[in-house]
Each structure stands twice: as structure tokens, then as C-alpha cells.
Structure 1
Amino acid sequence: MKELDSLIKDYVKNYQQLKGTETNWYEPVIGIAAANNPMFKELKNIISPTHALPTDFIKDAASVIVFFLPFQEHIVKSNIGNIESSREWDIANIETNNLIVDINKYLHEKIVEKGYISTVLPPTYNYDEKELISDWSHRHVGYIAGIGTFGINNMLITEKGCCGRIGSIITNMTLTPTIREKHENCLYKYNGTCGNCIDYCVANGITIENGYPYVDKKRCNDQIYNGNIPQYSIGIGDACGKCMCNVPCSLKNPVKKLK
């Protein structure tokens, strides 16, 4: 685990210089889940019956590696206010998706060198466009791996907040699972305070119904694909992120200081 941990962190640290990206990242948050963790089967009820198991990708899967790539503060601040996402936010999402693919390929090479195999999973666009349901949810896998818990905006809140992107890798290499904390990182779920993400959602897609948070995925998707999608030389700006910015959990776990 320590070797893989260093490989990922060093790769991210050097990526801007290696690829000439505009974006730079804080140090990743990394977790491990055992492939036979029963929580993976629960995702078939929570998300969809079609949600994959680790063994659907690799028959003898043993571990799932998950990494959260936190955006730097200036990127988050750029996306505060206005209805449409900022250029910096869009570029960060595009470049981070590319980074996730490159981390997958890099780790795959290292894992193969040790005599094992691994997947190279796409960071996004792996969902049913009609139902808006993914058959491999990196966020839920991150929850299982113990790197964070869900906010009422359905974003995973890690020790370095929720503003960033998540990738995951399945391998038949046996690794020690991360110990999952049993507390919520969302202030609303922890003690009933906050709820700022509801106010900052420009699509009015986040509500509390009978005490339970609900995210209207269609409203969220319609806001992103509203016919005003910015085109950049490196890809399209199909991101929003307004509910993640200027909130207590943007860049940190706000519950940590209260425990």
C-alpha cells in the first residue's frame, strides 16, 4: 500500500510539469477496499441492479484502489457565483479526467511488472444517459474504500473536501483495506447544521424531503447540458459544481474540527 500510495502522489505532484496542464492539484486522498467487501453487492440495490462488482472486471479481483484528486483553492473560488461554471473549473475537470486515465495506465504498468493485472477504468461518461445511472460509481466505491462520506448534494466529502475528481482501479493484487470511519463528514448529516449546497444549486435540484436529502439528477443534468456548453481546445465544459463551491466542505472535512 505504501508503495502504491507514493506512486500515485508522486505522479500527481509531477503531472503539471509532465503534461503542461493549467491545473495543479493538492495531494491525493487514497483508499483501498477489499474486492469481496459485501458493500459492493449492496450497490445493486442502492444504485442499480446493473451496477458492476469488482469480479465483473477481473475474475479473481482482490482489491480496489480509489483516489480523490483535490482541486486547488483558486479553482474552487473561480466557480463561486454566476450560473455557468467558470473556465478554470471546466479546464480542471477536463484535465483531471485525463489525469485519472493516465494514473490508471501508469499503475497498470507497475502492477503488471509485479505479476498482477489491473483495470483502466474511464473517469466519466460511463453511465446510462436516459436513467443517469452509472454501472461503476467511483464516488460510491470511494465511500466503500473509506475515503469519505456523502454530503446532501451527493458529493463525496473527503478529508480534503469534495471539490475534485475520483478515480478507481481494480486489481488481483491483495492490499490492506483502509479502515472506514463511522461518522459523517457532512455538517447537515452530522448535527443538522449547514445545507448551504441547497442554496448554491443553480438548478434548484437539491431538497430535503421528510428529513432526507434528495438530488434531482435530471435537473442537474439539464443545467449542465442546457445548450450553452463551452467548447475548449482540450474538450467540452460539461461541468457545474456550484453546489460544491463556497461551502464548508469544499476543501476540507468540516466535521473534523468538531470531533
Structure 2
Amino acid sequence: MNDDLKAAVRSRCRKMEIPLVGVAGTDRWENPPFSPWMPEEFYPQSIFPEARSVIVIGLPVHLPVLETSPSIYYHELYKTVNTLLDQYTYRLASFLNDCGYPSVFVPRDGYGSIEVLQKNPIAFFSHRHAALLAGLGTFGVNNTLLTPEYGPRVRFGSVLTAADLPPDPLREENLCTRCMLCVSACPVGALDDLDYPEGLTDKAACARNSADLARRHISPCGICIKVCPVGEDRRHYGRKAPGGGEDPRHRRAREHVGKFGGL
């Protein structure tokens, strides 16, 4: 395995100020950590047959902005983070190509619009599962990936590469506390039925809510990730977990932002 190349990839990520980076071998999709698992057509080697490794990067969603959600503020942050993820993963893939290893980036969302999601609520590749297999976090009740640094307030992008890179260890500790704050806070009850057959999230209800917010120009929702108590970012910003008492200044700021920029 190419330790020097992995070190070079991490060095480039540091220069691009990417805080989270992990690597998974494509064999991990064939030996998943739990079941049921995704169909084989969603494996990275099915999408890019040359793939031997998947590099996953993560960028944080800044908690004070997210606290205003749904809002134009969070809407703009969401777009910015997605754009950066696409740019950074493209640049990493180009670097690996220049080093002689066929590589491709995977676009952050991989679907055309909220209307498309309502009819076909699955993208062709799951960055969340890639991040899990790259050792960056564990799944929470709301079906998002929780990280020690940011809880679920992080978005991921992936690079599929023919380079055989040393994989990072899977995270063994389950970060989810099962506090169920995300379940109770969901405005459309998309997390109420924990036996929902498509996972823990009612994707249709979530997509309908996103479509409504999009018509008001303040999508996405973000509520289930803003209430999660997991993540060092809460300590960094001095934000207590929901129910622990809110600073009146934070509430005034949130209410001010919510009055503008959307319908």
C-alpha cells in the first residue's frame, strides 16, 4: 500500500483547510459492518470499476448559522459547503490522476432537484456510508453520520481512486446517545417510526418538507442536526445542548435572521 501517497493526500487536504479526511478500501463495501446493506450497484467499484480506495473529506456546518434554520443564512451556507466539497474532491482527484492513479470525484448531492428526490429519493452514491467506512463517524438515530468534532453538522465528499491506500480504522464507539431530540424536533415526524422500512428516516416526508422550504427559498431544513448534543463544536461556540437554557442573545440573533431573505 502507498503510505507516501496517502501522506501527500493528507498534506494537500491540510493546505485546503479540510479538517476531516478518511480512507476506506473498496473491500469494506463487500464486508459491511451491519446489515441490511446497500445493493452492490451502489458500491464505489460498481460506479468506477478501477477504484481500490475511497477518500472521504468532511467540511463543518457552522453551528451558529445552522441554529437559524430553516433560513436564508443556512441555505447559503449549505450551498457554499457543497460547492467547496465538489471543488476540493475534484482537485484531489486531479492530483491523483497527475500522480498516475486513475481517479474521479463524486458530486456532493448527485440528484437534480427536490422534485427529483420526491420521485426517486436515493442518490447513486452514499457519502455518509463512505464516511462511516473511512472511520470518520457512526450513524445516529436520524440516519446522519455523527462525528466527534461536529456531531452531524458536517457534510462529506468522496474521491474514488485506483490508488491502493492504507485504510483508516473504523470507529468502534457509537457516538449517538439516543437522546431522541432529533425525533421529537422533526417538524414532519419523519423520524417517529423507528421501524420505517427504508431506514430510520421517512424520506418521502423529509423530501416534501424540503420542497416546501425550497419554494420559500429557505431549504434545507437542518433541524434534526442542529438539535443533536454530540460534537465538540458546541463547546467551541459555547452552545448548550437543547433544553439546557439558551443565551437570550443567541435567540435574538436567530429571530432576526429568520425574518429576512425568504418567503
TM-score range, shorter chain: 0.7 to 0.9
Q: Deviations over 1:91-115 (max 9, x none)?
A: 1111111111111221122112211
| SS of residue in 2 equivalent to 1:64 | strand
Distance 1:222 1:152 in 2: 20
Alpha-carbon separation, structure 1, partners of 2:82 and 2:92:
16
Q: Does residue 28 of structure 1 match 2:33?
A: no
Q: Does 1:153 align with 2:158?
A: no
Cα gap change, 1:125/1:43 in structure 2, threshold over 3 Å: closer, same or farther? farther
Correspondences of 1:42-53 after superposition (within 5 Å): 46-47=37-38, 49=39, 51-53=41-43
Deviation at 1:164, TM superposition (A): 2.3
Structure 2 contact 213–221 (Cα < 8 Å) conserved:
no
Q: Distance in 1 between matches of 2:174 and 2:146?
A: 9
Q: Conserved in 2, the CA contact under 8 Å of 1:31 and 1:65?
A: yes
Shift of the 51–229 alpha-carbon distance from structure 1 to 2, 3 Å rule, reads farther
- What RMSD in Å do the two structures reach over aligned CA positions? 2.9
Read off the aligned partner of 2:7 and give its amino acid letter: K
Are residue 5 (structure 1) and residue 4 (structure 2) matched?
Answer: no
**Which residue identity is paired with 1:220?**
C
2:93 aligned with 1:88: no
The 5-angstrom pairing of residues 183-194 of structure 1 reads 183-188=173-178, 194=179
Alignment partner of 2:205 out of 202, 219, 224: 219
- Which structure has more helix as a fraction of its residues? 2
Equivalent pair of 1:29/1:68 in contact (CA under 8 Å):
yes
The 1-side partners of 2:216 and 2:37 are apart by 33
TM-score, reference length from structure 2: 0.75
When residues 9 and 31 of structure 1 are mapped into structure 2, their CA distance, relative to the original with a 3 A threshold, is same
1:240 equivalent to 2:240? Answer: no
Identity of aligned residues (%): 25
The yes-or-no answer on 1:67 pairing with 2:57 is yes
In 2, are the aligned partners of 1:101 and 1:123 still within 8 Å (CA)? yes
Q: CA deviation at 1:187?
A: 0.4
- Separation in structure 1 between the aligned mates of residue 121 and residue 105 of structure 2, nearest angstrom: 22
Q: What residue is the counterpart of 2:47 in the other structure? A: 57
Gaps of 5+ in 2: 1-5, 236-263
CA distance in 2, matches of 1:178, 1:45: 23
